[in-house]
Structure 1
């Protein structure tokens, strides 16, 4: 059976607004973040999806976004699609992020030296979790709310770096993948919260 995965980034948070590094740390959705989630909800409502199952990262900003998208519906929270752990850089200014090396997705293994994760570790756990999730559900449509760097690293597995670098992973962006025979095929990215 061919299934469709809608992988969604959470709405804007207080840390996003303040330009603070937010990975394993959490902060609440801002009013704009809630508006972005409502814009994504309107987009999803137009698709009139049926036969679906809902998933979220264990982090509050993701589950709060999902609860706006699908109010009063049950869902499963998964640690494997939580955001990158940035170690000692958590909560600090984004100005402290290291420069990105050409050809390296995000920050490579930089944060591992400060108690965080490497890009490869985040990518592997996200791929394993999303693949297991797809295998274990019998539903045709799967909606999962996660985080910007998780979405980017997951997309990077299935697309050339040049294509991923052209994409805009705005708050509440939606990556659409087709899944069959243990493989994901990228279909499109939508940014319904961007006017």
Structure 2
């Protein structure tokens, strides 16, 4: 089984350096261009299934890359692959958060794995949500399937950690670039990372 993990193109929020979870910003001009380039990179890959998060930036990216009128591809919006909910930090930048939530921000730096974003989601709940989502997709798929997931940086990190056996500890070992895809080959009891940020 081949699994292609796609991060949406850059958004206006990304360009401004904002924490962007459930708060949606439109794709920037750079992000739209990234998606067009990504479409050409994926032209020769035959897919059976495409899953995408509920966030508008992921849906716009999926729409730019894939032909939703195709009867040969199964499409599904899946909330398991939404970005983490940053709560009160959503839409704020590093300077604002580190100044106005200094104690909480230090707790996040000290151990992100046990942190719960104020009025948002805990990292553990987020990771478990994504992990369960990817396990379910693998469970209902065939060995010969080629599957794409259009999602977010945090979501893709969580999937990579889960499938490659890093668990929470490996979350910040990957940089996931906008408008790029990563590719894994999945076997019965293991996964191999073939491509990162192409």
| TM-score above 0.5, yes or no | yes
Please report the TM-score for the alignment, with normalisation by the length of structure 1. Answer: 0.82
The equivalent residue for 2:130 is 126
What is the CA distance between 1:159 and its match in structure 2? 4.8
Number of paired residues? 183
Change (3 A) 1:84 1:184: farther
Given the two structures, how large is their TM-score scaled by the length of structure 2? 0.81
Give the distance between the partners of 2:86 and 2:47, measured in 1 at CA: 36
Query: Is contact 1:38–1:68 with CA below 8 Å preserved after alignment?
Result: yes
Counterparts in 2 of 1:12-51, with a 5 A limit?
Answer: 12-45=10-43, 48-51=44-47
| Cα separation, partners in 2 of 1:120 and 1:145, compared to 1, 3 Å | same
Shift of 1:71: 3.1
- Report the CA distance between 1:43 and its aligned residue: 1.3
Counterpart for residue 92 of structure 2: 92
Q: Secondary structure at the match of 1:111?
A: coil
5+ unaligned residues in a row in structure 2: which ranges? 99-104
Equivalent residue number for residue 191 of structure 1: 197
What is the correspondence of 1:114-193 to structure 2 with a 5 Å cutoff?
A: 114-138=118-142, 140-157=145-162, 158-160=164-166, 165=172, 167-181=174-188, 183=189, 185-192=191-198
Distance 1:58 1:180, change over 3 A: same
Structure 1, residues 107-150: CA drift from partner, whole Å, max 9, x if none?
333334x1111222111111111111122234610011010011
- CA change 1:17–1:55 in 2 (3 A) is same
Q: 1:73 to 1:119 in 2, by over 3 A?
A: farther
Q: Rg larger in 1 or in 2?
A: 2
Q: CA offset at residue 184 of structure 1?
A: 5.0
